[in-house]
Amino acid sequence: MTDKGALKHAGIRKWVDEVAAMTRPDRILFCDGSDAERDELIADSLATGELIELNQQKMPGCYLHRSAPHDVARTEHLTYVCTAAKDDAGPNNNWMAPADAVARLTPLFSGAMQGRTMYVVPFLMGPPGSRFSKVGVEITDSKYVVLSMRIMTRVGQPALDHLGASDDFTRCLHSLGDLSPDRRFIMHFPETNTVWSIGSGYGGNALLGKKCMALRLASWLAKKEGWLAEHMLILGLEDPQKRMHYIAGAFPSACGKTNMAMLVPPKALPGWKTTTVGDDIAWLRPGSDGRLYAVNPEAGFFGVVPGTSRRTNPTAFDMIQRNTLFTNVALRPDGTPWWEGHDDPAPAQALDWQGRPWTPASTEKAAHPNSRFTTPATQCATLSPEFENPEGVPIDAIIFGARRQRRIPLVFEGRNWQHGTFLGATLSSETTAAATGKVGVLRRDPMAMWPFCGYNMGDYFQHWLDVGAKLARPPKIFRVNWFRTNESGRFLWPGFGDNLRVLKWILDRCEGRGIGVETAIGAVPTTDAIDRTGLNLTDADMAELLKVDPAEWVEAIAGQEELMQMFGARMPKPLRTEHEELARRINSAITPPDLVGRDSGT
C-alpha cells in the first residue's frame, strides 16, 4: 500500500481528488494487491477489532468479522437505479433522478471519511487479457471491504494493465458512513458507470465489484455491447467418455449455487467429474462459432456458511479452512468458527455471531443465517483449468432454478431459446435470508435477476431474445426445482451430488438422447428417464417430482398475466405469445377436447 502519490493514472487521480474533497479523509492509500498490504491491513484490523484472529494452527490465515447487527444482508429497499428517465430503470428497480440522488447523498458523504483512511482499490473483473473483462476502482473507508475485494477481484496491477491510459472504468464510491439503515443507500448511475454506496459494510452492498458492478451496471453495459451479465454459476461436467460440457445455472440468492458449482458426483455414477468455473456471476458472449461463451468475472467465493459441511459440500468445506474471512459466524472456545449445519455437533458453549455467550439451550441461532465466507477461488480443489481462459467456456445448457415447494417439476425443457427465455422470465422463488425481509415468501424473480438487473426488465427480456438470435448453436434451456416437497413437507429430491442425475438427463437431451414427454409446459422426463441407480427413491416419489398438474398451473398463468401487465409495452411480444400459448395448452389439458367441442356447440 502506498500513498496517493504513487497513482499515475490521470483519470483515477482526478476522481480520487474529487472524492477526497467531499469525504475529507485523514489519509489516502493506494492498494496494490501485494502480500505486504494484506499483512498491514490485517494487523490494523486486529488492532481496531474489525477482525478477530481465528485459531492460526488449525485455520491459518482465517479471521472473523462481526458486522453491525442490523447490517447483515443486502437491503433491496435502499438500492436504487438512477437513470434520467424513470422508465429506463423499470418497475423492477427503485428509482431516483441522478441529480436528486447526488443531492441526497452528498451531505452523507461530506466529511464521512474524517478521521479515517481512504483506500483506493483498482480491480479487474474477469480474466486478465480477456475481451470480457472490465476495470473498476473502489474508494472505501473500510479495511474489511479492501480485504474482501482482494479476495473477490483481481486488485492492483492486473487492473491497471487492463485499463492502460483509458478512462473507461467503473467509479465505485463506498463509505461505511454511520452504518445506520436510515442513512444507507446503494445508488447506481448506469449512464455514468458509477456507484455510490453508503451506510453498510455488508458484501452485496459494499463489495461494489460484485452485485453493483458485475451485475447491475454490467447488465446495462451488456445490453449496449451485445452480451449478458447474469446471476449464474458455471459448472464443468466431464462425462465417462471424457467429453467436457458446461452448464450455466441461474438461481436466486442462497438457493444452493455454491453447492452446485462444487457438486460431487454420486458413487453410483462412476466416471463423471465436475469442475468449478463460478458460483454466482457469469458474463456470457456469443462466440464466432455461434455458441455462447461464459467467464466468471470474480476471483473468489462469497458463500453462505450455514449448512456448509463435509457432507453437503466437502469442496467448499475444505476450501474455507485457510485464508478465509468469516462474517457473522459463531466462535468456539478453541478459536475456530461454528455454524448451524456444521459437521461438528453444537459446542457446549460458544460466542454467537454478535459475540454474546451461546449454548445449545439458546433459542437464537449461533451463526447468523446469512453468515458468509469469503475465500479465494484458487483454494477450490475443483477449480476449472479454464477458470482464467480469456475466451471463456462454451455453454451447452442453461438452467433456471428456484426454491419451490409446489407445482414446478424437478426438471423440464424449453422448446427453443424463445420459450426458454419465457421460462426464465417467469421464474418465482421463496425468499431467503440473503436479503433483509421475510423469509419463505414467494416472489417473482425473473432469471434470478430481479434484485440485480440494472435497467427495465422488459428491455432485458428483449435483449435475451436478441442475443439468442445471434447464436447459431444456442444452449438449450431448462427449468429445475430441487425443492419440491410432498404433502407432509418432506423434500422429495435428495439434491446436492444427486443433482448430477438431472444434469445427465439435460446433457442427454442436448445430444438428442434422453427420454421426455411433451407437456403443456415443456418436455418432462418419464419416470425412468433419470438415472436412479443406487438411489432410494420410489416410482411414486419420482412421479410426484415430475408431475405437471394443469389445475395447479392456472394460478401460475394468472401471476404471469400480472408480469405481462407490469412491463406493459416494454414486454416483448414473443414472450406474450409464449404466455398465451401456455394458457391455451393448460386450458386444453384441463378441458378434454371432446368437451371443448360440445361446449362450443360444434
Q: How far is the CB of 208 from ligand OXD (least distance, A)?
A: 13
Residue 434 lies near ligand OXD (rule: CB under 6 A): yes
Q: Beta strand 397-401 with 185-189: parallel, antiparallel or unpaired? A: unpaired
Q: How far is the CB of 280 from Mn ion (least distance, A)?
A: 4
258/418 with CB nearer ligand OXD: 258
Contact between residue 469 and residue 229 where contact means Cβ atoms under 8 Å apart:
no
Residue 384 lies near ligand OXD (rule: CB under 6 A): no
Residue 138's alpha-carbon distances to 149, 283, 504, 576, in angstroms, are 9, 20, 41, 41
Q: How far is the CB of 448 from Mn ion (least distance, A)?
A: 8
Q: How far is the CB of 74 from ligand OXD (least distance, A)?
A: 5
- Terminal CA-to-CA distance of the chain, rounded, Å? 82
The site that binds ligand OXD (CB under 6 A) totals a number of residues, namely 7
Among ligand OXD, Mn ion, none, the one that 302 touches (CB under a kind-dependent 5 to 8 A) is ligand OXD
Residue 156 lies near ligand OXD (rule: CB under 6 A): no
Among ligand OXD, Mn ion, none, the one that 204 touches (CB under a kind-dependent 5 to 8 A) is ligand OXD
23/205 with CB nearer ligand OXD: 205
Contact between residue 339 and residue 433 where contact means Cβ atoms under 8 Å apart:
no
Residue 280 lies near Mn ion (rule: CB under 5 A): yes
Cα–Cα dist 117/142, whole Å: 8
Q: How far is the CB of 507 from ligand OXD (least distance, A)?
A: 26
State the catalytic residue, choosing from 31, 172, 255, 380. Answer: 255
33/204 with CB nearer ligand OXD: 204
The site that binds Mn ion (CB under 5 A) totals a number of residues, namely 2
Among Mn ion, ligand OXD, none, the one that 246 touches (CB under a kind-dependent 5 to 8 A) is none
Give the DSSP per-residue string, 441-496.
-EEE-GGG-TTT--S-HHHHHHHHHHHHHT-SSPPEEEEE-TT-B-TTS-BSS--G
Q: Which of residues 175-204 bind ligand OXD (CB under 6 A)?
A: 203-204
Cα–Cα dist 222/284, whole Å: 9
Q: Beta strand 134-140 with 282-286: parallel, antiparallel or unpaired? A: unpaired
Q: Which of residues 241-270 bind ligand OXD (CB under 6 A)?
A: 253
* Residue 471 exposed, middle or buried by CB count within 10 Å (0-12, 13-18, 19+): middle
Q: Which of residues 392-411 bind ligand OXD (CB under 6 A)?
A: none
74/476 with CB nearer ligand OXD: 74
- Nearest Cα neighbor of 564 from 478, 453, 457 is 457
Identify residue 124 by its one-letter amino acid code. Answer: L
163/250 with CB nearer Mn ion: 250
Cα–Cα dist 504/34, whole Å: 43
Residue 374 lies near ligand OXD (rule: CB under 6 A): no
Residues in the chain: 602
256/266 with CB nearer Mn ion: 256
Which DSSP helix (H) or strand (E) runs through 219?
Answer: helix 218-225
Residue 14 CB contacts under 8 Å (≥ 6 apart), including other chains: none
Q: Which of residues 246-265 bind Mn ion (CB under 5 A)?
A: 253
Cα–Cα dist 237/246, whole Å: 6
Among ligand OXD, Mn ion, none, the one that 300 touches (CB under a kind-dependent 5 to 8 A) is none
Reduced to 3 states (helix: H, G, I; strand: E, B; else coil), residue 367 is: coil
Q: How far is the CB of 260 from ligand OXD (least distance, A)?
A: 13
Nearest residue to ligand OXD, scored by beta-carbon proximity: 253
Q: Which of residues 278-297 bind ligand OXD (CB under 6 A)?
A: 280
Among Mn ion, ligand OXD, none, the one that 174 touches (CB under a kind-dependent 5 to 8 A) is none
Residue 491 half-sphere exposure toward CB, CA atoms < 13 A? 10
The three cell numbers of residue 429 are: 422463488
The three cell numbers of residue 23 are: 469525504
Residue with cell 431474445: 465
**Residue 255 appears among annotated catalytic residues:** yes
Question: Looking at 123, 144, 202, 302, which residue binds ligand OXD (CB under 6 A)?
Answer: 302
73/571 with CB nearer ligand OXD: 73
The three cell numbers of residue 558 are: 394468472
78/282 with CB nearer Mn ion: 282
Q: How far is the CB of 140 from ligand OXD (least distance, A)?
A: 18
List residues near Mn ion by CB under 5 A: 253, 280
Where do contacts with ligand OXD occur on this chain (CB under 6 A)?
Answer: 74, 203-204, 253, 280, 302, 434
Active site residues: 255
